Amino acid sequence: MRKLMHAIQVVALLLLWTTTATAQGVLKGMVKSENGEPLANASIIVGGNKGGTSTDSTGGYRLSLPAGTYKLFVTSVGFNPYSLNVKIENGTITRDIVLQFAVADLSEVVVSVGSRASQRTFTTTPLPVDNINAAELQTSGQISFDKALQLRVPSFNTVNTPVNDATSLLDPYEIRNMGPSRTLILINGKRKNPSSLVYIQTSPGRGETGADLAAIPTEAIKRVEILRDGASAQYGSDAIAGVMNVILKDRFDYTNFKIASGFTHKGDGFSILTSLNGGANFGSKGFLNYTINFQRENKTNRPGKVDAEGDNNDLSDGTSTSLQQVQAFLNRFPDAKNVNGTPTNTAAKFLINAGIPVSENTTFYANAAYVYKKVQSYANYRTPYWKQDYGLLHAAGTEYIGYGPTFEGDLNDYNATVGFKTLKNGWMHDISFTTGGNKQLYTVENTVNHSLGAKSPIRFKPGGYAFSHVVGNIDITKEVTDKLNVGFGSEFRSENFQIFAGDTASYSGEGANSFPGVNEVNAIKVNRFNIGGYFDLSYDISKALLVNGTVRQEYYSDFGSAFVWKISSRAKLAGDKLTLRSSISTGFRAPSLHQINLQIAQQSFVPGQGIQTKGIVSNKSPQAHLLGVPALKPEKSVNFTAGFGLNPTKNFSITVDYYHIDIKDRIILSSNITNTAAGNTELDDVLRNNGIVGVSFFTNGIRTKTEGIDVVANYKGILIGSTGKLTLNFAGNYTLKNELDGNVTNPKLISDAGQSTFDYIQEALLLTSRPKYKAVLGGDLVFNKWSFNLNNTLFGPTTFRNDGLDKNLKLEFKTKVLTDINIGYQFSDRVNASIAVNNIFNITPEWKLKALNSNGDAILSDAAAVKKNINAITFNGRYSMVTYDGSHFSQLGTTFLFTVNFKL
């Protein structure tokens, strides 16, 4: 705490420093195209966070600045970015600017992630930053933001899980195999709230939570900046893998109404989207931009053919008589009436972004977003030889053919920011307040609680979760000289997490079949706060060499303090055509309130054994304490990156970056800890004596090491005929290493019993379930009124070791290439349309079993043993395409999306 008070005193002294008065000057002029036409709404940003402006309807601009030398960055949609140096003195200076036409490209826009002291262009930042513009998202053929990123950013991965439940509300995603909780999501530079849901299924992202990217309407996005480097020193917790900054549309150009509709090649998954983006401008700088979005996606179904022998062994009594009954049912329903695919999804989204000048040097800004989402997914169908319904789900006198439980989730997600930016004596002050939250409530229908028998209801309310936070930020920057930039600031954050109990019938005894509810003893409401401060310094040692350094101190009310730092550098060579860059940093990630407090334990009375506990117990629970599980502490990381950027011509650029990430005390949701086969260990005694059947918990269980290479190349402005322009792009990510570093940290009681909190299934999910390499090769051609976009996405191999699969085998998904095409036509100045065909060759996941050793080879040579293992990982064939735990890309095959845009 003493360090924190000292940091606050330093910040206070620096604030006093900013009151020094300096002389003012005026810079004005016109921004025109190369053919002399004035450009309205062109953006002019002053380097060093010293403000900026936009041109008015006549292309004119005006800036008031203290005396000094500045670098200006000028951008306008459809034109090459331009930068210039100007010297401001007393009086008025006139400087006209001419922009050259270019194909849409954002490689030179001013990026705001990476340094808190100054803004730099993509090619001059000392850190790797991806810029994804709105056009790239719109031509992806996807109506949700997260799925569009999947097809545009190689280091970003997400996919629908085949067995959905609560995960159907949002799919796990990650950058560089780091999980969703290690990528910080910002909206216009401000922290977005994470979801209230923790992924607990056996799928990538297990035990973690992340922000709901699908809640952000794509039509509201101007561009996306992805900093592919650890940034805890700049932004605090959750930025070990990097930062994604979603920049919202600002200045109003025209009202756009969009309608899009699509379906899969099977005729299912029908989707409809309507979106309205509009707004207004206030003078030369003020704006309001809003987006209203409604969408619905119907379910898809890709069931497999169920194996009768496997189903008989697993779900019936295994006799020859029951096998005949099972086979008779499957003859009528080969897929066992299972629904395996994406859920029905309905969403309404609203977003607004505004900026209003209060005075010549002060701007008020605000943005707010709200989404309501409702999903319906299906649990595995309960066949008549598996589960009974006690006459509750079928009419008396009719044949009982089983039942299919449904899961419904209602999600509310919101975030809002208000703030002021003011320039005073050369210091840019940014003061803001942000709030956000996510609430999910669930309903389970068409099922029963078998413990209640014929008295069971058939509709249950199993409870839900909520998370919210409020964040206050003060960020202050100054370009002290033309070489020295300084930035410092502070953040205060308060977080709340709540678990809602379900109705009694949903958790009593066995609970609602398919999705038991939250017991009232597990319902909680907890909160915490943290405060942090940072200092950032950027210095141009020479015209070619830049060094940047940041330090940060954080204090959390529930675990104490953390100190992190970062150093980065950049050297420009060969006439600025070659850029060398590198960084090294330390980072941390605080355990989330979800991970500290989540408890989904079922407690039931077993005659002769008393109360029995199974499920997930919280890290602070008596059960975790009995097992010797220590309190959670922050993860600690060390990040190193090194790379280069090459611009041999104005049309061609390539960047190559190596990264290395070490994470110590990585938090995991443990494997299920249960009695040993022998039953004679101290662990067995503790479990028996305390009524613990089998439990999982969160713990700092492992240390990991991740290495890889990112490559991004772009060739723009290739002339095709007299009117055509072609842009080619390539982006790839290759994982060199993603592995454990040392042994698993197990409580002694568990390790002595020969068990582990991180078993082989967990290891496969965390380390090999995402593609080893992924690349995107594409081209954009604009020709008269036509536009063509072609993208090929290479998904490298992934490896699973699923529950039920023999330990001598592994499951490998093969490398595949998916090809997407988007064709657009401009009918008039006000109407354009496009058709997108994703996965035009109908490529679907393909897997095979592979041996790990000679014992595995023996299994693969035995047809009966192979069939047994295949049944285990596909639920007897229900998930024959993707297995029960999913795959590395969508199983839907070819999809179509038709879009029409109207300028109003």
CATH number at residue 61: 2.60.40.10
Q: Residues 733-736: contacts with CB within 8 Å, 24+ apart?
A: 733/154, 733/155, 733/176, 733/708, 733/709, 733/773, 733/774, 733/775, 734/708, 734/709, 734/772, 734/773, 735/176, 735/177, 735/706, 735/707, 735/708, 735/770, 735/771, 735/772, 735/773, 736/707, 736/708, 736/709
CA distance 260 to 275: 9
pLDDT value at residue 524: 95
pLDDT value at residue 22: 47
Whether residue 22 is found in the same domain as residue 150: no
Q: Give me the number of domains the chain comprises.
A: 2
CA distance 130 to 226: 5
Whether residue 64 is found in the same domain as residue 199: no
Among the candidates 45, 71, 99, a domain finishes at 99
Task: With respect to residue 898, please indicate whether it lies within any of the assigned structural domains.
Answer: yes
Residue 415: how many CB atoms within 10 A of its CB?
A: 27
Whether residue 88 is found in the same domain as residue 113: no
What pairs with residue 324 in β-bridges? none
The helix, strand and coil proportions of the chain, stated in percent and rounded to the nearest 5, come to: 15, 50, 40
Whether residue 362 is found in the same domain as residue 344: yes
Number of H helices, E strands in the chain: 14, 46
Whether residue 79 is found in the same domain as residue 155: no
What is the CATH number for 648?
Answer: 2.40.170.20
CA 388 to chain CA centroid, nearest Å: 40
pLDDT value at residue 610: 52
pLDDT value at residue 5: 45
Concatenating the DSSP letter of every residue in 721-786 gives TTTEEEEEEEEEEEEEEEEE-S-----HHHHHTT--SS-HHHHHHHHTSS-SEEEEEEEEEEETTE
**H/E element, 174:** strand 173-175
pTM of the complete model = 0.87
Whether residue 73 is found in the same domain as residue 148: no
pLDDT along the chain (904 residues), means of 10: 45 41 76 76 76 78 86 75 85 86 42 52 71 86 89 86 75 89 94 94 87 94 91 92 93 94 96 97 91 97 94 86 93 95 95 94 96 94 94 94 95 97 91 98 96 96 97 94 92 98 94 92 95 94 93 93 95 90 95 94 53 78 93 97 91 93 97 91 90 90 96 90 89 96 95 94 90 94 92 94 90 96 94 96 96 96 95 92 86 96 94
Q: Measured in Å, how far apart are the chain's first and last C-alpha atoms?
A: 57
CA distance 47 to 699: 45
Whether residue 87 is found in the same domain as residue 180: no
Alpha helices in 471-612 (DSSP H): 504-507, 593-597
CA distance 9 to 126: 30
Whether residue 59 is found in the same domain as residue 192: no
CA distance 759 to 777: 37
User: What letters, b where the CB count within 10 A reaches 16 and e where it falls short, cover 699-735?
Assistant: bbbbbbebbbebbbbbbbbeeeeeeebbbbbbbbbbb
Whether residue 79 is found in the same domain as residue 113: no
Among the candidates 99, 130, 152, a domain finishes at 99
Angle between helices 308-315 and 320-332 (to 10 degrees): 120
DSSP SS3 for 376 = strand
Whether residue 772 is found in the same domain as residue 702: yes
Concatenating the DSSP letter of every residue in 585-613 gives EEEEEPPPHHHHH--EEEEEEETTTEEEE
State which residues form the domain around 526: 109-303+338-903
Whether residue 877 is found in the same domain as residue 808: yes
Among the candidates 65, 99, 133, a domain finishes at 99
Q: Would you call 469 exposed, middle or buried from its count of C-beta atoms within 10 A (0-12, 13-18, 19+)?
A: buried
Per the listing, tokens 């705001």 go with 112
